[in-house]
Amino acid sequence: MRTPTTPRPVRVPGPDDLDRAWRAVSRRLAPTPLVPSGLAPGALLKLETFQPTGAFKVRGALAAVAALPAGEPAVTASAGNHGLGMAFAAAETGADVTVVVSTRASRAKVDRIGGFPVRLVQHGTTYDEAEAHALTLPGRYVSPYNDPAVIAGQGTIGRELDAQAEGPLTVVAPVGGGGLAAGLCLWARGRGDVRIVGVESAVSRGVSASVEAGRVVDVPVGDTVADGLPGNLEPGCVTPGLIRGADLTAVTDAEIRTALRWLLREHGLVAEGAGAAGIAAVLAGRVEIAGRAVVVVSGRNITIPAYTAALGTGNGD
């Protein structure tokens, strides 16, 4: 559980933030593919697995770095996709970026982050301890999800969908801290023909609990193959307020593993557990689709042992 702290003041993003994020992201990244799928009638898959870092979080990182005042350094805590995104943004823009990771972080991910021109700091044995240390360092702290520029950056997926798919659409995306779903909800406000469905892990439902409570609350968190999803929210986090109005559901690890195998069999695609959460929800019949479904396959960064273990638990499907 996260240790309660005084909430940081975080501004709720608006349409102007989405415009600024779009300028920053579209300058550096090509639109990711949108491909037809037999997942549901007329379904489409938005393949964020094709990002240069292998995951959607590079969008928020580029937007956050672009929002920095001239010369101000950035600091973040992550050993996963957000850290890789911030490292990529540092290489692309020359920004001064520090990434704090725990001493137990995946060595493969830490080595990959360290291959970029960033300052890499190891501190603590958990993400929360690494984050607490990052908050003491000089520079603007860039949360993986509770940051207006990061949220708006993730919403640029919607700006690409404006040009790629006519509505009505039901956009399905994974939910961990809620940055992606919040960004998509920010974008969807400008359209009258888009529904957003967020998919949590069944063992970590902090966002839906906070939406229901009307404030950030802690929940029990378990282990899951979707290692990008579990965890509680930062006190005062703005994502639940932005997500209110979206539909929220959850999937089990068994359903996620089925989705990983389905993506490989039907599309020849490798995804990480979190990346397949939307597929899992549709396959399990937990998404009410209005118009066409657009499922965000959010990332591919899974270790070979974890991936082969997931593929090996099926019944030959």
DSSP code at position 4:
P
Q: What is the rounded CA–CA span in Å between residue 15 and residue 186?
A: 7
Burial of 136 (0-12, 13-18, 19+ CB in 10 A): exposed
Q: Among this protein's residues, is 109 annotated catalytic?
A: no
Six token digits for residue 122: 């190891």
Q: Pick the catalytic residue from 37, 78, 201, 298.
A: 298
Structural tokens at position 174: 């994974």
Largest CA distance in the chain: 55
Residue ranges in 155-200 assigned as alpha helix (H)? 156-164, 179-188
- Alpha-carbon span 179 to 31, nearest angstrom: 19
Q: Is 148 left (phi over 0), alpha (psi -120 to 50) or beta?
A: alpha
Measure the N-to-C terminal CA separation of the chain; round to a whole number of Å: 37
Side by side, the strands of the sheet bearing 97-101 are 119-122, 97-101, 74-77, 140-141
The closest alpha carbon to 174, from 55, 32, 91, belongs to 55
Catalytic residue among 37, 46, 57, 210: 57
- Concerning whether 298 is annotated as a catalytic residue, the answer is yes
Element housing 208 (H / E):
helix 206-213
| Cβ atoms within 10 Å of 266's Cβ, excluding its own | 13
How many CB atoms sit inside 10 A of residue 285's CB?
7
In whole angstroms, what is the distance from residue 151 CA to residue 184 CA? 8
User: Which residues form the catalytic set?
Assistant: 57, 298
